[in-house]
A and B are shown apart, each in its own frame.
Chain A
């Protein structure tokens, strides 16, 4: 009855940090692209725009989320990912090559690079889903696990649709379903993968780490069912070219607004009052989620294209804000935890690994970047400025991560260790 269940503590630190370390590098690359041609990036379906979108959604967001999944799986999934080091190495490598190829394929309009991207991204994402999904079935079940299942299934289908589109781009031949595939691809990617995983994690993290009132059991039980049903019906509607597909967007928007207000309310009423930059990142992210939904509503009503760009930018920055807050907690914890577990007496405490001052600077740069990027929808000069502040933000993130790992390695080499019992 209980075979295969293990409550192991954590995979080796390199499993998680290899994903996190790549995040600022892709971030810096996309900021560079924006700086080179901000106007092109703001033009829908322009190759620069598609390259930047995929660098962000895959290189920054998906890379961090898969890294976090390797860590979360042993805590929330009950069964750790097998051969975590080898699998993390392979998945990371495939994603790295795939993301770099895809972005280059868009910019250079190169059919061979689209094929390389399909192969490596497809292999990386499908292998991740194939590796983790079976671990989420067959054991106990709880609400966060349901969310993780939906997120991974959505990522899997997003990747399949992406491969189909990449082959269309490679052959410069687009099927009659291209628009339906494209809309399904980004709906599943944004809401099914990114939105769902963030909600699933919030259901655990907000209540337990910040000591808040619990989310209602009804919400936790039904949120993922509603998202799954709305996405499935939307896709059917899109492929059937049926009218009123926006109804499903409305349902998802209502659910996301409900999540945002409930989370903000819980954080506001939290019992832990100690100052913590990760809470600022959560609040700011939630605010951006609401802004994104409002702009999407404006676009649906008016058809004004900049409103859609603003909605996408706000959604991307919502995810980034939450992720930066979480990385700022996870990395110092992992450094401390692995050193402490290995018996190092002088393992640095979390606040000395990424000091609050630097975490606050990172938050300030995130806020500045978000305001400039949203303003940039109307004023391309502001968008170029957002690329500069965004570059600063990713550079600081890289510095924080490298410094944390430097401290880790320094303690491993020079630290005092308890004798092993």
Chain B
């Protein structure tokens, strides 16, 4: 359940990124900045859902404090820095840098998503068991 919910959210974020990238490609930088803002907000909200609710609950249930969730938090931090660099590149009218940094960001983000979808979310699903539905409700209600 958690797997499907969070995986769908990953894909929704990816879709927002493709729209921003397409706008930069079309040289419509004003539209691109707005679309990129949507993508960045959605991605940061996804990180918040994990760091403020999902990971904490998982760690309490399993007692795994310094394991995979810690590494995911570290990667969130790296990705936040990249998102900020991309936002700066757009605001300073440097589309080539936007694409250059974007390529690294996209590979890193997708590797990060793969680890979560293949390993971490199934573990969280097992740990939460019947409480997974309640957790999804909590995540849905989190304010952006």
Which residue numbers of A lie inside 8 Å of B, CB to CB?
A: 1-2, 5-9, 75-76, 78, 139-140, 142, 144-145, 204, 208-209, 211, 271-274, 329, 333, 336-337, 340-341, 349-352
When chains A and B are docked, how far (Å) is the Cα of A144 from the Cα of B62?
27
Q: Across the interface, do B123 and A209 meet the contact criterion of CB distance under 8 Å?
A: no
Q: Across the interface, do A142 and B118 meet the contact criterion of CB distance under 8 Å?
A: yes
Would you list which residues of chain B between 4 and 57 have a CB under 8 Å from chain A? 14-15, 17-18, 21-22, 25
What 0/1 pattern do residues 78 to 90 of B give for CB contact below 8 A with A? 1000000000000
Whole-angstrom distance between the Cβ of A347 and the nearest chain B Cβ: 9
Q: Across the interface, do A144 and B118 meet the contact criterion of CB distance under 8 Å?
A: yes
Whole-angstrom distance between the Cβ of A356 and the nearest chain B Cβ: 10
Q: Across the interface, do A211 and B104 meet the contact criterion of CB distance under 8 Å?
A: no
**How many residues of B are counted as interface, with CB atoms below 8 angstroms from the partner's CB atoms?**
37
Known: A75-B115, A140-B119, A144-B118. A5 touches B110 (CB 8 A): no
Known: A337-B108, A349-B101. A8 touches B123 (CB 8 A): no
User: Does B128 belong to the interface (CB within 8 Å)?
Assistant: no
Whole-angstrom distance between the Cβ of A268 and the nearest chain B Cβ: 15
Known: A208-B114, A272-B21, A274-B21. A78 touches B119 (CB 8 A): yes
- Set of chain B residues within 8 Å of A7, measured between Cβ atoms: 67-68, 71-72, 115, 119-120
- Set of chain B residues within 8 Å of A273, measured between Cβ atoms: 18, 21-22, 25
Known: A208-B114, A272-B18, A351-B96. A5 touches B67 (CB 8 A): yes
When chains A and B are docked, how far (Å) is the Cα of A2 from the Cα of B67?
10
User: Does B129 belong to the interface (CB within 8 Å)?
Assistant: no
Whole-angstrom distance between the Cβ of A95 and the nearest chain B Cβ: 26
Known: A140-B119, A144-B118. A6 touches B103 (CB 8 A): no
When chains A and B are docked, how far (Å) is the Cα of A75 from the Cα of B112?
8
Whole-angstrom distance between the Cβ of B22 and the nearest chain A Cβ: 6
User: Does B107 belong to the interface (CB within 8 Å)?
Assistant: yes
- Set of chain B residues within 8 Å of A1, measured between Cβ atoms: 62, 126
Whole-angstrom distance between the Cβ of A126 and the nearest chain B Cβ: 27
What 0/1 pattern do residues 123 to 140 of B give for CB contact below 8 A with A? 100100000000000000
Q: Across the interface, do A340 and B114 meet the contact criterion of CB distance under 8 Å?
A: no
When chains A and B are docked, how far (Å) is the Cα of A341 from the Cα of B108?
12
A–B Cβ pairs within 8 angstroms, 10 of them:
A1-B62, A2-B62, A8-B71, A76-B114, A145-B118, A271-B15, A273-B21, A333-B108, A340-B78, A349-B104
When chains A and B are docked, how far (Å) is the Cα of A402 from the Cα of B48?
40
When chains A and B are docked, how far (Å) is the Cα of A330 from the Cα of B107?
9
Known: A7-B68, A9-B71. A271 touches B115 (CB 8 A): no
- Set of chain B residues within 8 Å of A350, measured between Cβ atoms: 100, 103-104
Q: Across the interface, do B15 and A349 meet the contact criterion of CB distance under 8 Å?
A: no
Known: A139-B119, A211-B15. A351 touches B114 (CB 8 A): no
User: Does B111 belong to the interface (CB within 8 Å)?
Assistant: yes
When chains A and B are docked, how far (Å) is the Cα of A76 from the Cα of B113?
10
Q: Across the interface, do A274 and B25 meet the contact criterion of CB distance under 8 Å?
A: yes
Task: Pick the 9 closest A-B CB pairs, nearest first.
Answer: A349-B100, A271-B18, A7-B68, A78-B119, A208-B110, A351-B100, A7-B71, A350-B103, A7-B115
Looking across the interface, which residue of chain B has its beta carbon closest to that of A352?
A: B100
Looking across the interface, which residue of chain B has its beta carbon closest to that of A140?
A: B122
- Set of chain A residues within 8 Å of B71, measured between Cβ atoms: 6-9
- Set of chain B residues within 8 Å of A211, measured between Cβ atoms: 14-15, 17-18
What 0/1 pattern do residues 92 to 108 of B give for CB contact below 8 A with A? 00001101110110111
Looking across the interface, which residue of chain A has its beta carbon closest to that of B85?
A: A349
- Set of chain B residues within 8 Å of A336, measured between Cβ atoms: 104
Q: Across the interface, do B21 and A333 meet the contact criterion of CB distance under 8 Å?
A: no
Looking across the interface, which residue of chain A has its beta carbon closest to that of B110?
A: A208
User: Does B65 belong to the interface (CB within 8 Å)?
Assistant: no
Whole-angstrom distance between the Cβ of A145 and the nearest chain B Cβ: 7
